[in-house]
Each structure stands twice: as structure tokens, then as C-alpha cells.
Amino acid sequence: MKRRTHRPAEPAARAPRAPPAGNASATPSGLVYGRLLQASRLATIGEMAAGVGHELNQPLTAIANYAQACDRLLSRPAPSMDDIRTAVREIADQAVRAGDILRRVRGLTQSRPIRRERADLNTVVEAIRDLILADARVHRARVQFDLEARLPQVSIDTAQIQHAILNLVRNALEAPAEPGAAARELTLRTALIPDGYAEIAVLDNGPGVLPQALEQMFHPFFSTKSAGAGLGLAISSTLVRAHGGTLTYRPNTPAGACFAIRIRGESG
Amino acid sequence: MMSGSATPSAADGPESPAGVRILLVDDHEGVRNATAMLLRTEGFEVLCAASLSEAREALRTGSPIDLVIADYHLQAGETGIEVIAMARSVAGEHLGAVLVSGDTSSTPHDVQVTGRLRLAGKPIRGRELLAIVTELLPVRKAT
């Protein structure tokens, strides 16, 4: 995910990164489009590597310490079998937890045909909650989940919508902070919208988007991030539109940005 | 490495585990419980906390500590550096501290590794952690 069009350090820095003539995001060929999505997914996960690594290190550390404790206990003349049993069970649980983390990452990165299924956005978010928290942790950001209990089911490719959500989260985490600004705070909020739409919004307390950038921020290759390709928002928007939905921006209150994905719910 | 059967030394030397209190701060329950079990197996007394506020409360209500072990990345943007600073404000600036990080890439480069502050990466071998703990324990003078 590449940074959205936050206030640039130097206005001129954005000029070379303006989108090419025409609308490159409209209808790329299927093959190129698929490869672009795959590359974007891998890039997103790659950028989250620090957080994923930290998350994976937790159960590994627990396993190592429990095993070491078992070793010490077993060296005693009359070891407590209850303590050893507790440690062994914890080792098994933590190993399963490590496997869950890897499974979630693999689910996001593997290339496969689009597969739509009925789902609710809360479940979609919950499945990547740990990854989001891990990424936020290395950015020293706070994250809140404000999930509406009653959401309509939507017909989606879960991995694609998760990809879009993670892009928005990374966007919010990487938005530049003004000197002395408050710690970054994110909220992932789901809501039922009139006319039967379900919404997942990513809100932050960052600097928001400059008015002059609003028109181009969903165009590919438009970014203020020096090392960024400027594809995150464009790809997220394309993914959501392929589901008949919308990705829109609105200022957060009292400050910051709010990117919202809306997808029509299925009746019945 | 310190042994669970070690006895207090009458000579100058590291503190024995018996009677040594360690504040352990990690927001991951599995890591916290496993590390606490490892330390307790060695004979240390361990106070556990998941956050800066819990650590502060543990120090407020408990007996003085001899060492603090803190994870760098805690929840809600808190860090182990803040925990160590808080613990030292209570227990004294000489308090030995171990800062543990599972993500060395984002560990701040301005952390001053001194004789009283050590860095450790996750996962760390139990014997390595115990060796660091032993080195950091205050030296008890013979009386």
C-alpha cells in the first residue's frame, strides 16, 4: 500500500508521480490485472513483515520458554507433573497459534481464481484483526474495532476485500505525522448504511488529505511517498468496484481521514 | 547460568534467585506466562504485568523489585522503554533492565545499551535470558 496523498513535504515532489494520461485503472486486461493484484498483495504483506514477524515471534518465544522450563523441571528429583503438563499443553496451543498466523498470511498471499461467497464484513475484519494489530504495534499506533452487530451479508471474494482493507490500514499507519502530533489512532468501523449497504471504514487522526489532491488520489501512480508506487488506493478502489461497491474518502472528525468501502448487501 | 538449587553466597557475587523479585511486562499472555514459569522454575519471584499501568500498580502494591524485563512493543503504543523508566523512577536508576523485542527492525536505535540495560531478541533461549538476568542482578556485599 502506498501512501495516500497527504500533505507533501514539497509540493513539487508530487508532480513527477502524477498519473499517466487516460485512466489506467479502468480496464486492464485480465492477465495483467491478476498479476498486478498478486504483486500488490505481496507488496502489502511484505510491508507488514515487521508486524507479522513480531506476531509470529510471540508463540515461538512462549514455546521456547515453556520447553526450557520443562527441561529444568524434569531435571529435578521429583518434578511437578502438573506444571509439566501445563507447559506441554501451552506448547501445543502456542504451536497452533503460530500455524494460524501463517495460515492467515498464506491466505492473503496465495494466487487463486476469484471466488465470491456470502460473508459479513465483521467476520472479514476479525480474520485479519491480529495482522492489523501486529502492524499497528510496530507503528506504535492504537487501533479500535467498532463493529456493528447487524450487518447484511455481502457477496465478496474475502481475500480481495481483506487486501483492500489492509491497504487502507497501512495508508493510515503510514500517513505522515506533524511534529508533536498525538499518537496515531485508527478505528475500523462497520455500519449498516441506508439502501442495504454494508460499510467498513478506516478512520485515523492523521493530517487528512489536501483538497487539491482529492481528485487524483484514487488514480494509479499518484503518491507523495518517495518510494511508493502509488498503487494502493487505486487497486483498492478497483477491487471494491469489481464487487459493485465504492471506495470513498471523507474527512474524519475532528481531524484526519476516513476511507470507506461500501458494498450492497444481499437480501434474504 | 543460575541454578535453581543455588544458595545465597556470603561473598561478593550475583544475587541468588531466592528472594529476588523480577517485574515481567509483556502484553502477550503466552509469552508472559511462559517466561514467568521459566523464571520461577529457577527460583525467582515474578511479578507479571501486561501494560504500563499494570506494571505501575504492581510496583505500587508489591514489594521492591530487583530487576525488570519488558517487551518493547506493548499494546496501545506503549513501549518497554516507558516501563523501564517508570520502574526505575520507583526502584532507583540502578535497577537492572532487559528490553525484549520480537522485531529488531523497529527497535529504536537510540536505546542506550549499558551495563544496566540489555537488549534481547525474541525468541531468546531460556539459558541466554537467565544469563542476562544473572549478570544484571545487584551484587550482594558480604557482611
Q: Where are the alpha helices (DSSP H) in chain A?
A: 30-47, 49-74, 81-109, 121-127, 129-138, 158-174, 232-242
Q: Does B107 touch chain A (CB under 8 A)?
A: no
B50/A contact by beta carbon, under 8 A: no
Q: Which long-range contacts (CB under 8 A, 24 or more apart) does B53-61 make?
A: B54/B25, B55/B23, B55/B25, B55/B83, B55/B86, B55/B87, B56/B86, B58/B23, B59/B23, B59/B86, B59/B87, B59/B90, B59/B91, B60/B90
Is A87:A70 a contact under the CB 8 Å cutoff?
Answer: yes
Lowest mean pLDDT among A8-22, A41-55, B27-41, B57-71: A8-22
Q: Please state, in angstroms and rounded to a whole number, the distance separating the CA atoms of residues A106 and B101.
A: 24
pLDDT (0 to 100) of residue A176? 72
| B38 in contact with chain A, both atoms CB, cutoff 8 A | yes
- Burial of residue B111, with CB atoms counted within 10 A of its CB: 0-12 exposed, 13-18 middle, 19 or more buried: middle
Whether residue A126 lies within 8 A of chain B, CB to CB, comes out as no
Task: Please indicate if any CB of chain A lies within 8 Å of the CB of B108.
Answer: no
Q: What pLDDT was estimated at residue A26?
A: 45
pLDDT-based confidence at residue A246 (cuts at 50, 70, 90): very high
pLDDT band at A30 (very low <50, low <70, confident <90, very high): low
**Alpha carbons B26 and B49: distance in angstroms, whole number:** 7
Contacts of A187 in chain B (CB under 8 A): none
What pLDDT score was predicted for residue A223? 66
pTM of the model: 0.67
Express each pLDDT in B38-67 by its tens digit. Answer: 999 988 999 999 999 999 999 988 789 999
Predicted confidence at residue A107, as pLDDT, reads 75
A222: its cell numbers = 499518484
ipTM score of complex = 0.75
- When pLDDT is averaged across residues A177-199 and rounded to a whole number, the result is 87
| DSSP structure class, residue B79 | B
**pLDDT beyond 90 at A91:** yes
Touching B: A residues 217-256, CB under 8 Å: none
What is the chain A residue with the closest CA to B35? A65
